[in-house]
Every structure is written in structure tokens, then in C-alpha cells.
Amino acid sequence: MWQQLWRQAERDPRRLLARLGLDEAAARLSEEAAAQFITRVPQGFINRMRRGDLNDPLLRQVLPVTDELAVVPGFSLDAVGDGAARKATGVIQKYQGRALLVTTGSCAVHCRYCFRRHFDYAGENAARGNWAEAVASIANDPSIDEVILSGGDPLSLLTSKLAELTDLLAQIPHIRRLRIHTRLPVVLPERVDAELLDWLRALPWPVSLVIHANHANEFDASVFEAMNALRSTGITLLNEAVLLAGVNDSVDALCALSETSFAAGVLPYYLFQLDRVQGTAHFEVSDERAAQLIAGVRARLSGYLVPRLAREIAGEASKRPL
Ligand SMILES: *Cc1c(COP(=O)(O)O)cnc(C)c1O
């Protein structure tokens, strides 16, 4: 069922624009940008975009435009130092106690600001060889107490493939928490099916699932339903957003995002400053402006609805609070 919806994702930016009643030239569409990182947008996500609005905050996240071709100093191919933090094939460790698995390169949506848009997924993929190398590297390091499933998007994998991994991890006594970072419940909420819920319920650790939504409009009835179903398994739901110019860089947009997330049962976790990845400079918001925005949010909302504003700096011991 969800696999079929996955396959029906829009891959042609011209058709995406036509469907929204938008003009190609005005959209500053770029073939070259589209060739560097192909377009992929699930139909259900397109349904949440406003027709006839080139500035739609959801469209802006996924449309390949000429701005991406700008070569801007400071914007590189591996902005967050993933290469240097590699512990084994598909295993990245930057922080105390936490090992991150790049479980797959696949994702249901291609966000233009993706910090792994240049990542070598063919080579760096923990699922290769039935997880053996990744699991061995975690088993051999008793300081790891939390395993983070990342990607790509880990929920791109079949639930049976994920269960294969968690069955192996369950044999490692020093693991105490599992975390899943995924945008699928937002962009393809049908992925939250009975099989996935059964898997989550049966996991032997406390689980947190960190979704990724940047704008309140990303939540429609189908997303609320998926979040409710996920919550019914007893896991903790958090949201990570990225501060993006032209998408959510206003106090109103950020407040609406926090309030809507919470209404769906999801607590705000991080609001990240953009990782400085080549092709994404047009999304950047200055640190000064970011600090003003978060102060504006703090002045309006309950404390638990204010996300931690932070930036990742390669080589540091944690994400850096701003
Ligand atoms: C961001 C990140 C984490 C998680 O950091 P938290 O502050 O615990 O959310 C873990 N591993 C890697 C490689 C990361 O980039």
C-alpha cells in the first residue's frame, strides 16, 4: 500500500508546477539543479500545497531552482563532517553514547536543503551485508547506550528489514534507548501501518521518534492520524525543524509550527540553523535574525513549545546552542 504511494511520487518538476497552476519561467526552475539532486515529492504532500502560490512554503522546500547553482564560499559538500566521524560502514559517531546508523540512502521526499544531498549512500549504508558490520561496531563499544536510525529515511526500509536490525541490537546489553529520525510520517503518513505499529510496540527499549516538519501546513488530517497511531504505541514524539528563508522565517510561522505539532502530539525539539551545504545558500537565515525569531517565539508560547535553536559545528561535542 505505502510502497505504491511511494512509487507514485512526483519526479517531474514541470508537472508539479502545472498541477499547482504555476508558470515555469516565473518559478526559475533549473534543469541542472534537478539533475544534481532529482525531484521527489509524494502526491499527498503536493495536496497540502496552495494552488497558484509560487511562495508556498511546502513547494519551496522541494522545487529545484536556479538559486541552487550559486557557488557560495563556506558552502561545501560535507558541511557537517560526516566523513571524519565514520566508525564503520554506515555508522557515524559524533557524540558521547550515541551511534547513528545511515540505514539507507532512500527517502520519500527530496528536500532541496538536505544536508546529505551529496552523501555517498551507495558506499555508506549500514544495511549492507545484513547489518553485520554496523551491529558488530556497536556491540564492541560498551559506551554506546543509544542507537539512532537515520538515513536517507529509515522508514523507507521494509518493516521486516528494520526488525532484522532491532533483533540483532536486542542482543547487545549496553543499548538502553532507540531513536528513529524520519520524515516519512509527515510526507507519506500511510507508512504508519499496522505492521510498523506492531514492530514499535514490541521493541525492548524506550523509543523516541523524531519527525521533521518545517511548517504548520505540513500537518493535515492524514498526518494527525499517523501521529495519533504512533502515540498509541507509547513512544515519545519530537520534531526537528530547519530554519529556512522563505519557508518558516517568521515568528508567526514558527509559533504555528510549534502549536500544530503539539496538537498532533509532537513536542518541538530542535530548530536548526541550516547546514552549509553546497546549493542551499538561498535558504540561509543569519544567526542574528534567528536569535530574534526565537526570542519572539519565547515571548509568545509556553516554554515547552519553544524548540532549542542550535547549529551543528563539525568536531564539537554537541550541537551548539544559539
Ligand atoms: C545530531 C546528531 C545526533 C543527535 O544529537 P542530539 O543532540 O542527541 O539530538 C547524534 N549523532 C549524530 C551523528 C548527529 O549528527
Q: What is the pLDDT of residues 62-82, one digit of tens each?
A: 999 999 999 999 999 888 888
Answer yes or no: is pLDDT of 118 > 90. no
CA of 311 to the centre of ligand 1 (A): 11
* Residues contacting ligand 1 via CB (< 6 Å): 92, 94-95, 98, 100, 148, 318-319
125-128 — which CB contacts under 8 Å span 24+ positions?
125/89, 125/90, 126/89, 126/90, 126/91, 126/101, 126/102, 127/90, 127/103, 127/157, 127/161, 127/165, 128/89, 128/90
The domain ranges of the chain are 2-69, 86-321
CA-270 nearest atom, ligand 1: 9
Query: What string of DSSP letters covers 32-94?
Result: HHHHHS---B-HHHHTTSPTT-TT-HHHHHH--BGGGG---TT-BSSTT-TGGGEEETTEEEE
CA of 100 to the centre of ligand 1 (A): 8
CA-269 nearest atom, ligand 1: 9
CA of 256 to the centre of ligand 1 (A): 25
Q: For the segment 175-187, what is each residue's pLDDT rounded down to a tens digit?
A: 999 999 999 999 9
CATH number of this structure's domain 86-321: 3.20.20.70
CA of 95 to the centre of ligand 1 (A): 7
**Residue set of the binding site for [4Fe-4S] cluster:** 107, 111, 114
Which of 98, 119, 145 maximizes ligand 1 atoms within 8 Å of its Cβ, making it the mutation to test the pocket? 98
Mean pLDDT of 216-221: 98
Taking the model in full, what pTM does it have?
0.97
Answer yes or no: is pLDDT of 18 > 90. yes
Mean pLDDT of 260-270: 98
Mean pLDDT of 84-111: 96
